[in-house]
A and B are shown apart, each in its own frame.
Chain A
């Protein structure tokens, strides 16, 4: 089955810093989503981005489907950005395969 690899596994930032999270996947996909899991366990949708570039406030994402990777950019990070960021991909009828996540800690 499809493999999803996220990097880095952990990231510690000072408030105000920028960061880039990466997601590599091993096969072509027709679904790619980025999620933020907050400290209470909720999975919050960030982007649905099987290809192209999208922006939402301080966050943006780019997926290069032909090269099988996606990037999530966080600018001017805030303490509320802390949590785990997951990339999930799908290529068979809707089920998502999740990466192991990047745990982000933003220090004040």
Chain B
């Protein structure tokens, strides 16, 4: 158990819908990262938050947004879902930037 908790584990939804993925980082970790794993793109960095503020952005679509709350948990919001958004979404956390990151079990999103 990495200490990073993601909910839900599985999510099936229809095209056009909006979903929210939730992540609780390891106790004491200030940095939270979101990654997407798809068959064609591999594991790709989406966005990073550090102590409530956006720190870095990767290949995140405009339909996707995230935030980190004062208690340091984070949410990734995916809207106007398309079939191609079906993927495994991981959250990771680390104490600071540039330190070892630990990953949650992932949320498997299926868009039908």
Contact = CB atoms under 8 A, between A and B. Distances in A.
Interface stretch (A16-24, A56-64, A97-105): A97-105
Contacts of A48: 99-100
B100 A42 contact: no
Contacts, number: 61
A71 B11 CA distance: 36
Interface residues of B, number: 28
B33 to A, nearest CB: 7
Contacts of B100: 31, 33, 45, 48
Nearest to B31: A94
Contacts of B98: 30-31, 90, 93-94
Contacts of B33: 94-96
B110 to A, nearest CB: 13
Interface in B83-112: 88, 90, 92, 94, 96-103, 105-106, 108
A43 interface: yes
Give the secondary structure class of B's interface.
strand
Contact of A98 (B43, B96, B108): B43
Nearest to B102: A45
A98 B38 CA distance: 13
A35 interface: yes
A93 B99 CA distance: 9
Interface of B: 2, 31, 33, 35, 42-45, 48, 50, 55-56, 58, 88, 90, 92, 94, 96-103, 105-106, 108
